[in-house]
């Protein structure tokens, strides 16, 4: 039977239910007990009358007995009915009317908790009440990724591990909030719409506000508004919320995703590494109950003191690249030798490299090292040319006080001692704007209001950010697999 036939049969049943004067979509349920409580606290509930509700996942009839398996968010339980009950004027279904119900319908049952003759925990009910008539049958299997991502509501019913993953995602962010709040940070939600967007190298989305008749950018980072709060007198602030980057979709990137950024006054990157290493361990333990993971073939143990490696040393040791006096031809040669045909055709890749700035070529070479790294370890002292918002190192003005944790081939965050010298910041903005004017769409924009804030004065501070990519990675799934409703191409 094809889908239309199933749907037409259910529509016929719906019409018959209404013809009997029964409302198939009532506004309220009388449920007073979760299925979890019936099953897990059976000794307490035995002999008591309860009212449960949920979706039908199975219906069986044996002579004068009817068994209905019902599932709510907390679990599954059996409803046991004798085939002698008949429908009531109040719209309750007896066993004789069960034929009007289907797998997928939501029902409510009031009855006594006990065990069947086979020992299965059950709710013994004379009647059930229809709460929602389902017009489309749920598939027994649902494995096609394209269909699963487009119809997540079906996916979550057929593949309950998807729903369980989203619960862990919630725990991940709640643990982050708990850790930050317990250390004196204040969560402050900042705007998503910005006249000037910055804080990262990314291509922004553009939208239009009719009320002001002006274009706005969707934020690519939380950074600059949060640092304005430091200038306004706050000392420890953070925000968790969506950011938007108009770039490709792959296992590590989604154009829309949840991110976390935090700023602490009177601290530097040394303080930050200790603090955020502790935070990441805490969040992992709270979310998954362990600090040991197998991710992409990497065996990861977070339960250690993470070593620190200088950015320049890693590139020198692996590829003999001098990041302070870069040889552009050498960088292109290295990237061509490591070209992956799955990403771009060779001619397209060559053209892309020719149009890439030297700092970004260096960064792409670094990614070759990162992707082969198990970690955990910290990468520190990134070159000044790659860190337009980080403070210069007092020991080496060619590098910044910046730090990245690397785990299972991925940068799990980004932090640095914040630049608070307004003249230095202005000069770096000017360099970034020049690169943008020359065609680098991901270079940062000039933000004179932020420079003015710095001229009023912002205390020394450490900043940090990480996205939900951390969750995807330790969960062992792609970004699209780990979010409830991934962005998909529209189909007619």
Mean pLDDT (the chain) is 92
DSSP 386: G
Q: What is the pLDDT of residue 86?
A: 64
The string of pLDDT tens digits covering residues 393-415 is 989 989 999 999 999 999 999 99
Predicted confidence (pLDDT) at residue 91 exceeds the cutoff of 80: no
Answer with the residue of higher pLDDT: 365 or 90. 365
The residues, ordered by sequence, that sit 6+ positions from 153 with a Cβ below 8 Å of its Cβ are none
What the chain holds in terms of domains, given with CATH numbers, is 3-132 (2.40.50.140), 157-306+375-482 (3.30.930.10)
Q: What is the pLDDT of residue 314?
A: 97
How many CB atoms within 10 Å of residue 303? Answer: 12
Predicted confidence (pLDDT) at residue 89 exceeds the cutoff of 70: no
**Residue 42 vs residues 46, 119, 126: alpha-carbon distances, Å:** 6, 12, 20
In percent, the amount of the chain with pLDDT more than 90 equals: 76
Q: Which of 44-53, 157-166, 334-343, 371-380 has the weakest average pLDDT?
A: 334-343
The string of pLDDT tens digits covering residues 17-76 is 999 888 999 999 999 999 999 999 999 999 999 999 999 999 998 878 899 999 999 999
Interval 208-213 mean pLDDT: 96
Interval 245-252 mean pLDDT: 81
Predicted confidence (pLDDT) at residue 343 exceeds the cutoff of 80: no
Interval 270-299 mean pLDDT: 97
Predicted confidence (pLDDT) at residue 364 exceeds the cutoff of 90: yes
**Residue 150 vs residues 155, 158, 161, 485: alpha-carbon distances, Å:** 9, 14, 17, 7
Predicted confidence (pLDDT) at residue 87 exceeds the cutoff of 70: no
Interval 182-203 mean pLDDT: 90
**Residue 30 vs residues 26, 53, 82, 363, 438: alpha-carbon distances, Å:** 11, 8, 22, 60, 66
CA-nearest of 196, 187, 172 to 257 is 172
How far apart, in whole angstroms, are the C-alpha atoms of residue 148 and residue 432?
A: 41
Interval 250-272 mean pLDDT: 93
Contacts from 454-457 at CB under 8 Å and sequence distance 24+? 454/231, 454/420, 454/421, 454/422, 454/425, 455/422, 456/231, 457/231, 457/420
Answer with the residue of higher pLDDT: 439 or 312. 312
Interval 141-158 mean pLDDT: 95
Answer with the residue of higher pLDDT: 115 or 86. 115
Interval 241-252 mean pLDDT: 86
Q: What is the pLDDT of residue 295?
A: 92
């Amino acid at each position: 039977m094809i889908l239309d036939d199933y749907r037409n049969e259910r529509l016929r049943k719906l019409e018959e239910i209404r013809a009997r004067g029964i409302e198939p979509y009532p506004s309220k349920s009388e449920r007073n007990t979760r299925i979890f409580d019936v099953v897990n606290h059976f000794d307490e509930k035995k002999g008591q009358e309860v009212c449960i509700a949920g979706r039908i996942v199975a219906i069986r009839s044996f002579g004068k007995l009817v068994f209905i398996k019902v599932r709510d968010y907390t679990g599954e339980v059996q409803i046991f009915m004798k085939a002698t009950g008949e429908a009531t004027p109040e719209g309750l279904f007896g066993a004789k009317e069960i034929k009007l119900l289907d797998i997928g319908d939501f029902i409510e049952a009031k009855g006594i908790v006990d065990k069947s003759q086979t020992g299965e925990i059950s709710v013994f009910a004379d009647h059930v009440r229809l709460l929602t008539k389902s017009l489309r049958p749920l598939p027994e299997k649902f494995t096609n990724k394209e269909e699963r991502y487009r119809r997540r509501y079906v996916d979550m019913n057929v593949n309950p591990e998807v729903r369980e993953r989203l619960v862990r995602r919630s725990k991940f962010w709640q643990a982050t909030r708990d850790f930050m709040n317990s250390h004196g940070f204040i969560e402050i939600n900042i705007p998503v719409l910005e006249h000037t967007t910055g804080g990262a190298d990314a291509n922004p989305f553009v939208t239009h506000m009719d009320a002001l008749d002006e274009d706005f950018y969707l934020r690519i980072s939380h950074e600059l508004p949060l640092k304005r709060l430091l200038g306004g007198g706050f000392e420890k602030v953070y925000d968790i919320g969506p950011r938007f980057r108009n770039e490709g979709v792959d296992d590590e990137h989604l154009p829309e995703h949840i991110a976390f950024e935090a700023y602490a006054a009177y601290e530097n990157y040394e303080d930050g590494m200790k603090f955020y290493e502790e935070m990441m361990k805490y969040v992992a333990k709270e979310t998954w109950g362990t600090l040991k993971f197998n991710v992409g073939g990497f065996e990861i143990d977070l339960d250690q003191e993470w070593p620190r490696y200088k950015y320049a040393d890693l590139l020198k040791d692996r590829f003999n690249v001098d990041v302070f006096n870069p040889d552009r031809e050498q960088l292109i040669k290295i990237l061509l030798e490591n070209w992956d045909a799955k990403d771009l055709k060779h001619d397209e890749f060559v053209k892309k490299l020719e149009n890439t700035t030297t700092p970004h070529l260096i960064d792409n070479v670094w990614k070759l090292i990162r992707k082969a790294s198990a970690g955990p370890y910290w990468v520190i002292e990134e070159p000044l040319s790659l860190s337009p918002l980080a403070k210069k190192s007092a020991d080496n003005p060619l590098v910044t006080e910046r730090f990245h944790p690397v785990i299972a081939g991925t940068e799990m965050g980004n932090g640095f001692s914040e630049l608070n010298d307004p003249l230095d910041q202005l000069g770096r903005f000017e360099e970034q704007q020049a690169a943008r004017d020359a065609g680098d769409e991901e270079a940062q924009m000039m933000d004179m209001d932020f420079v003015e804030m710095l001229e009023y004065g912002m205390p020394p501070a450490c900043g940090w950010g990480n996205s939900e990519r951390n969750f995807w990675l330790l969960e062992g799934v792609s970004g699209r697999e780990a979010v409830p409703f991934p962005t998909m191409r529209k189909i007619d």
